[in-house]
Structure 1
Amino acid sequence: MTTDDGVTLRVRTDGAAASPPLLLVNSLGTDLTLWDPQVADWTTSHRVVRYDQRGHGASEVPDGPYTLERLGMDALTVLDDLGIARADVCGLSLGGLVALWVAAHAPERVGRVVLADTAARIGSEDAWRTRAATVREQGMAAVVDLVLERFFSAAYRARDEPGLALVGDGLRRADPEGYAASCDALAVADLRGRARDVAARCLVMVGTEDAATPPADARALRDLVPGAAYAELEGAGHLANLERPDEFARLVADFLAPDQEHHDA
């Protein structure tokens, strides 16, 4: 599909077309395959829609900088292209910020929202500007080790789990400009003033060993979103859906189940 500013995005759908739609939004430096461990479970109840954010995976890489608003509009355009008026939304890290933006700015488009391993404000402007400059000057190889340390818990890295190599290889293949332009978006993205506008039922999830958006950030986000539920995945790092795939899938499926009351876990 093509966005209103002419950028081609890769989109994939799984599950029955008549099922309730669930839009998945990937993190910085990954693509729609981030969700592979969960798709089979979620398609039992939902039509799963996932896409590569601009600058990622097989989507087009326009020149940066990008903005959170632009990334949020991309998400809405994916829904528009598929004729979906309203969807549940689940995003992780940068994808979580995009999901939060959509829920705050287009509440009529969102049923329930899952904000995984994210925050209303991720990191500092200086850190993101520095990383963007490093990637533009030296390429992706210069940041892969740093990113993997922040993506995965020490225990997961020590076990040399397959996800480590898969994500590492994906980072090395990533387009430097797409990655850097997304860092530019993160440098100034701050939804602390808009999170209270979220009307959708919300679940905030975080791995207890998340080094990028630690539990303290997730709890702060929970406190900002009215009535948000909260869950921690014990021992998981930033990409909690890869470290604890079955538990992650279950928590989201339970939260999205009709007519359920949700409490902190």
Structure 2
Amino acid sequence: MAEKVEVAQVPFMRVGEVAIHYRLCGNASRQPVVVAINSLGTDFRIWETVAEELAPHAAFLLYDKRGHGLSDLGALPQSIEDHAGDLERLLGALGIARVLLCGLSVGGLIALALHQRRPDLVAGVVFCDTAHRIGTAESWDARIAAVDAEGLAPLLDPVMERWFTPAYRVAENADYAGYRNMLARQSPQGYAATCAAIRDADYTQAARAITVPALCLVGDRDGATPPDVVRSLANLIPEAGFAVIADCGHLPCIEQPAALASHIRAFLAALTEGSSYV
């Protein structure tokens, strides 16, 4: 008899100063809960295909970080620690005591921060297209200035080139148009605030202190955090696995969801069995 897959719930939760939009879905009987942490300029819908594919095998918590999607912006300025605190409080409010963090881009920084402050919560981490330090202060300052001056519109095409392969960025691909719209409709204030948080974040020592199984994944065509950058993160983490996803840009949960789901499922299986995925 197949295990029951719970119907998705899409509520809101006030955690500290902000109301967070989240969804619990998948197989509620499975532990640890997979927590998907989305990237800059996106909301939790980017994880839906992966969550649906893994629904029989895992419980999922999807959420919009502050300043994104339907979650509150919160006070400014903001730090990665603020984002990690939101997630810590959300997990506590939901009674979730053990998680597999799956952090994409800035989500990887948030995962590093949460492990640093609450290692007891974290059973393992999948780092997707991220690093311990992302970009330079100059590049983030330039992006913040552009958003402050003109909003997100001027960034759309350059960001799309970093996010997706040329094969995905074609006019007939309705999904591409939809995800471009997702970025265009994010809060410019929330986007700029998160840019500043990334600019100020350096989790090099936190990566070296990871004490749980970890896997670093990257698209072979990632224009934001290329394979060499993600490999540098893997090299910092004791015994971390590393794998490249073919024909993929910065967002494997969108461009190659089946491949990403396969990696997460195998990593989760190794984690629950107490074996090594490396």
Q: Which residue does the alignment assign to 1:247?
A: 259
1:261 equivalent in alignment to 2:276: yes
Residues of 1 paired with 2:106 and 2:37: CA distance? 8
Q: Which residue does the alignment assign to 1:155?
A: 167
Structure 1 residue aligned with 2:34, among 18, 22, 29? 22
Trace 1:37-116 onto structure 2 (pairs within 5 A): 37-116=49-128
Contact kept? 1:42, 1:249, Cα under 8 Å: yes
Following TM superposition, by how much is the alpha carbon of 1:158 offset from its aligned partner in structure 2, in angstroms? 4.1
Number of residue equivalences: 262
Contact kept? 1:104, 1:199, Cα under 8 Å: no
Residues of 2 paired with 1:134 and 1:62: CA distance? 21
Output the amino acid matched with 1:226: P
Following TM superposition, by how much is the alpha carbon of 1:106 offset from its aligned partner in structure 2, in angstroms? 1.6
TM-score normalised by L of structure 1: 0.95
Residues of 2 paired with 1:116 and 1:104: CA distance? 18
**Deviation string, structure 1 residues 91-120 (Cα, Å, up to 9, x no partner):** 101111111221233211101110000011
TM-score normalised by L of structure 2: 0.91
Output the amino acid matched with 2:135: G
Residues of 2 paired with 1:247 and 1:223: CA distance? 23
Residues of 1 paired with 2:256 and 2:149: CA distance? 35
Residues of 1 paired with 2:171 and 2:262: CA distance? 24
Q: Which residue does the alignment assign to 1:189?
A: 201
Q: Kindly report the root-mean-square deviation, in angstroms, between the aligned alpha carbons of the 2 structures.
A: 1.3
Residues of 1 paired with 2:173 and 2:237: CA distance? 34
Residues of 2 paired with 1:247 and 1:159: CA distance? 24
Contact kept? 1:7, 1:62, Cα under 8 Å: yes
Where structure 2 has 5 or more consecutive residues not aligned to the other structure, the ranges are 1-12
Q: Which residue does the alignment assign to 2:225?
A: 213
Contact kept? 2:54, 2:261, Cα under 8 Å: yes
Structure 1 residue aligned with 2:146, among 127, 131, 134? 134
Output the amino acid matched with 1:163: D
**Deviation string, structure 1 residues 131-162 (Cα, Å, up to 9, x no partner):** 11211221111211111111112232247533
Where structure 1 has 5 or more consecutive residues not aligned to the other structure, the ranges are none
Following TM superposition, by how much is the alpha carbon of 1:41 offset from its aligned partner in structure 2, in angstroms? 2.1
Q: Does 68-77 or 16-25 show the bigger shift?
A: 16-25
SS across alignment from 2:100: strand
Following TM superposition, by how much is the alpha carbon of 1:64 offset from its aligned partner in structure 2, in angstroms? 2.6
1:10 equivalent in alignment to 2:21: yes
Output the amino acid matched with 1:86: R
Q: Which residue does the alignment assign to 2:248?
A: 236
SS across alignment from 1:49: strand
**Deviation string, structure 1 residues 218-239 (Cα, Å, up to 9, x no partner):** 1100010111011110121001
Contact kept? 2:170, 2:176, Cα under 8 Å: no
Output the amino acid matched with 1:261: S
SS across alignment from 2:162: helix
Following TM superposition, by how much is the alpha carbon of 1:186 offset from its aligned partner in structure 2, in angstroms? 0.8
Q: Does 250-259 or 99-108 show the bigger shift?
A: 99-108
Output the amino acid matched with 2:149: E
